[in-house]
Structure 1
């Protein structure tokens, strides 16, 4: 039975069921693996049958799943007794018979190959369609989405200068004099503001004139000093405002100079483009103006030609745009088809990668398996088992023939004994009427016959008892193999769970 279990486990591993390599007997399998194996076998035999492979947690759901699997096995033609207890509270013999039945019903390798051939043809046809669509897209003319030129407007720049506002704070007379001296230095260094030097000198003279008045030696009143400070602050504010105005004018003049330089560069570039390079030379020809006019007229003609050509191109672009608008639904339909084809190709690629990974895993698992797991070796073992069974059947047949022959001999001997006893009984009974010794012999013969009958009956009874003992031992072995105690424990545990659920 170990070889049968190894064959069953090998076929279950081929169906991608996670069974440990150390498992060598069916009884070592847990319940969820048994349910998964049975449902996988049923779905492989009949793909239209849908059975849950995962064992649910609830007891009632487990019983429903197991009873569904049992009913499907009966529909397939399983003749022995099968029910939910076969899978949930299994014993070795019944479970082995069920899996042997399911493995015999599994499809052959030839049928599996025939079923996979149409998928390969579909895959090649899909690849051909994808390549044809891509070739058509590459052969078609591509037109850029934006054909009209962009017009740019050149605007004027507005320059706005913010004049800083000076905040007048309360300053002492010495600080005012220092600021006036700084203003004088700035006015001397500034070239564009020559007029600002005179007020600064006047203010300096006034400050110099008034400076000795600020000393405590002159003994002027505080009111006059305050009035002098106010006058000086007013003059300082006026000078700062004039300075700011002059700075603004200076910045504007600089910007106008920069603009003039830029315009001059543009004019030089235009003249160089029309062929006039040496402008400042003394030997400029008298027909320079005529050349410039001719160049300008040629530029006008070229601009007119370009505008006419631009208009014709715009008309062509409008025509092409109208045709593109007409072809837009067809292009959108082709885009949708191409998108669907790309998605299908991506899905097929993912499926191919998954199957490739699965194939590599199966190859690794096949390499890890030791000798004796090949199909030919298993078939050889099965044939050896069948030959051994045939030999055992022949031996059993011989034993039965021998027992029949012995029974015939026993029956013939019993007949001979009965006939001999009847003859001896008749002769002794006749002689017992005349002779006393014959009477004793007749009594002894009757006693011997009765004792022999009791001995024969005892021998028969011992034989029947021995057979009954053998049968009882076999029944005990079968009952112990059924593991009724374990099943009773499981049933009690499930019953308690059901009571807790309710």
Structure 2
């Protein structure tokens, strides 16, 4: 059992259980350590089930019983068939705990499964613990600060919450194959602030970095998806595809600007007569500039003969005129908007009327020609019939000529179509091969990264291991264990073969005894009818046979009793290992604590 316990402890340490270095047996596990080990194993086996389980026992006894029941139910949910309950965790029993831990360790993901690709070192355990903690926190409903109870202290954060505010970041970007300008390098090296100094408040730092990273990752994924779906079909290099996409985007922007300018523009005569908001603004600006240029001269002349009140009155008058001009400009701008809308409506109506006029003119021309032909209808009909026949003959002639040219063209079209279809098939096959190669490259890259991380982790663990212990010692120990197992198997098989031989010999002797007694009984019984002494011998023979049967039965009963004694001794030893007396004492102490808690709660209820 010592080797089994060492294997179990090693597996528990790999899943993140903090087992002390001085613990090397399962019987040294405390209730807290048992609960932690079971919860860590369940979280690795089923993160959704183990995320809501606590890794430590609460201080109250009633809460401990509830935690024990929830752990027992979780173990049954993942497939444990043995007897389990709250007593398994609170009043530990070495065989039960060992069997439970063996079941959980066997249920852990193996190397052959997909989850075994994850490294099992301290960093990987820390990452899994963080993921489990986040999952557990997401599973708990959020409660406001004013409504939180003491039991929410472990599941709810005490820190003040902040809104998700994003601040734009300025980051240095370098493109492969292109050299940055000296001014850009100077700006990035000497002027650009660090990322942590670009935020107005530290509360927006995490959200801004997450938003920036998410945007860059999203752009990279979108570009990868677009290149695999459309870029490969264009048969261009990534740089050519990117430049063509930018060119198309510029053309679309220019077309949109031209269309917007064409819709927003007005006729030249209206612009010349009425003017636009831009022309009025220019005129008003020019007026202001002229006034600003002429006002110093004017004020300089007035200062020679006028007094200070005269200047104030003139300034108030000018301000009033300025306000009046501003209101006039606003009114003119509103009128221009209204006029532009009305103008657009009028132009639409004019276009529609022009279209209607053209259609009416065409109808009128057809009717006019028809009316002109009515006075000489018979001759006109004959002319029309002759023209129709000539057109039909011309059509037949053209059809015969077209058939002469059509056959080689159709044949050439079929040849080109087959050639194009073969090219399309070949190009599609090559595209599928390229996509599969991309996927294989991506999978191989991910596997290489995982193996590189695993290699670094294994190197770190190898360096941290004690160097004074040689591998030959472990190999020798394993070989000794294997040799002992082989010896035990040989001894067991030898005992089984001896038992079979002994049973065969007993069965043979029993059959021989029964046959000998039957023959002797028959012979003596025949002579007992004639001789008195033979009759006595027959009685002694029957009594001897009965006593022998009783002796054999007594020996068998003695063997059965000895086996029962050994079984009872093993049960006594098992019960002694189960610490039944100590567990009963702990149960009594816990019972007293629960009664005390109940009395305290009842007193609080009465006081309330």
What's the TM-score, normalizing by structure 2? 0.41
Does 1 or 2 have the higher relative contact order (CA < 8 Å, sep 6+)?
1
Instruction: Please tell me whether Structure 1 or Structure 2 has the larger radius of gyration of its CA atoms.
Output: 1
What's the TM-score, normalizing by structure 1? 0.49
